[in-house]
Amino acid sequence: MAGWRHCPGRHTVTGVAVAAGVVGGDGERSWRPSSVFHRCFSRARWDLDAVGKVVFTLALRLLPAGCPLIVLVDDRLARKAGKAIALGSMHHDPRLSHGRKTFRRCGQVWVVLAVWLPLPFGVVGGPRGVAVPLLCRRYVGRKAGHRQDAPSRPTSGKRYQQAHQAFPLAPAQRPPKPALAREASAVVAGWAAALAPERTVSVVGDTGDVNETTVAGRPANVEVSGPLRLDGARWTPPPPRHPGQKGRPRQRGERLPTPAAQVQARQHWHALPVTRYGRTVRPLVFRGTALWYRVLPTAPLRDVVVRDPSGRRKAAAFCCTDLTVSVACLLETYATRWTLEVTCFLLKGRLGFDAPQNQTVLAGRRTAPFAGIVFALIVRWYATALQAGRGATWVVRPWYRRKAAPSFADVLTTRRRAGLTAATAGHLPIAFFTPPCQTRRQQNSRVYRHPPRCLHAHPRASSPSRPPPSIAPAPA
């Protein structure tokens, strides 16, 4: 944990071990083999979901009594380079793609579930809360990115063969992202039912996460909310059957106008004050109840259409399985989903979410989500420091005029300073200041009968007072 926090460069397993001071240095454990730490991720017996349950238990203690339990869902691409990466496949790259051309990139896609906590995190506009990762599920695409996609690429080597054989070929072994999100949501719902049975889990997803897979098969204590397609087909509930009516019962009623058509035809709107992203705005809204037959054919959904009064933003529609939810609560709950985008950005930029280059299946399943565990523990430490009156501070910059709360970079810097202070005081047996370890190769014990050829080019090296460079003793 300490090495992952203090690692200044790429967060590989070896780099984290060097930053922790257990590999490289002058202590007793300075030259411990780095393979010990690799085996912690590739062979050791520990369950990542069990660690996520511990994080969920700690997060419940930070959640106020009247605050809803919001679980955020999103998928994120971790870009990789290398033909021996375990379960690396070709995926759509949203950063490089645009409207006219689509780009694909080799890497791993992770379905991330996080719980939202109302902690004072934010830079502009006041606190927005923070999304703490709980579970990560790896999605394996259809294209392996190996010989089928690049015939000219060399395919020799033991590590490449192991990575190619580990790729699942059967479609049943590669579940889609909505199925992974549903499975992870069911796990979190089970934790909530056991630890907080009085709370309802509100799962918030994006357009690709609100569909028949995640909505129709949800547990009893889960309510799903997210965007609604503007061209979505909505229906009225089926009419009741008349006495003596023959034929199969109707599954839906009359077709309703699409949300896009309602935006064009609507004359009367309601201006509602809503707090979104730390700011209070007054969008124009109207709500309704309809049957989204393609997603949930057995029960109606609450839908809300939102329009910007200034006309600078496009109209949007949202839906929720809870018919008793208010419009303001639905919009404010969906606005918390942006904190998961910020968390994924911080995991990549600050904690090396996409840095490890694991070549075994089990290590690849554990190493990247471990960055989320470190993020959750840092947030937990900062929440405890806030309760004790020791909040994070930051340097006042003239270009940050509206900064009212610390960012994660400020919190991480404060935690690193606390760790360095404890290490220099002798409380922790960790050498944070040790430089990266040098390569120590086994010295050749045989005696040279004739000096090397390089000695003839350097007259100084033939002096008996200075040993030849190739047989010089290793520095102490």
- With cut-offs at 50, 70 and 90, classify the pLDDT of residue 448: very low
Asked if 295 contacts 215 with a C-beta cutoff of 8 angstroms, the reply is yes
Beta bridge partners of 79: 107
Q: Which of 16, 51, 411, 272 is nearest to 7 (CA)?
A: 16
Tell me which amino acid residue 104 is: R
How does pLDDT run across 453-472, given as a tens digit for each residue? 443 444 444 444 444 444 34
- With cut-offs at 50, 70 and 90, classify the pLDDT of residue 3: confident
pLDDT at 318 over 80: yes
How does pLDDT run across 348-376, given as a tens digit for each residue? 988 989 888 888 888 888 999 999 999 99
Taken as a whole, the chain contains a residue count of 476
Q: Where are the alpha helices (DSSP H) in 208-294?
A: 212-216, 259-265
- With cut-offs at 50, 70 and 90, classify the pLDDT of residue 438: very low
The predicted pLDDT at position 143 comes to 66
pLDDT at 123 over 70: no
The predicted pLDDT at position 254 comes to 93
- Rounded to an integer, the average pLDDT of 15-29 is 71
Asked if 318 contacts 228 with a C-beta cutoff of 8 angstroms, the reply is yes
Q: Which of 411, 76, 118, 50 is nearest to 275 (CA)?
A: 118
pLDDT at 287 over 90: yes
Choose the weakest-confidence range: 26-35, 78-87, 186-195, 372-381.
26-35
**For residue 368, what are its two tokens?**
């990247």
Choose the weakest-confidence range: 64-68, 147-151, 448-452.
448-452
How does pLDDT run across 197-220, given as a tens digit for each residue? 999 999 999 988 899 999 998 999
Q: In this structure, how many other beta carbons lie within 10 angstroms of the beta carbon of residue 332?
A: 16
- Rounded to an integer, the average pLDDT of 39-43 is 88
Determine the 3-state secondary structure of 105 from DSSP.
Answer: strand
Degrees (nearest 5) of the Cα angle 185, 190, 191? 100
**How many whole angstroms separate alpha carbon 219 and alpha carbon 34?**
43
Asked if 258 contacts 230 with a C-beta cutoff of 8 angstroms, the reply is yes
Asked if 403 contacts 278 with a C-beta cutoff of 8 angstroms, the reply is no
Q: Computed over its alpha carbons, how large is the radius of gyration of the chain?
A: 28
The predicted pLDDT at position 31 comes to 60
Q: What percent of the chain is modeled with pLDDT above 90?
A: 41
**How many whole angstroms separate alpha carbon 344 and alpha carbon 335?**
16
**For residue 361, what are its two tokens?**
């299946």
Helix axes 35-42, 13-20, angle to 10 degrees: 120
**For residue 387, what are its two tokens?**
């309760």
Asked if 72 contacts 339 with a C-beta cutoff of 8 angstroms, the reply is yes
Asked if 242 contacts 206 with a C-beta cutoff of 8 angstroms, the reply is no
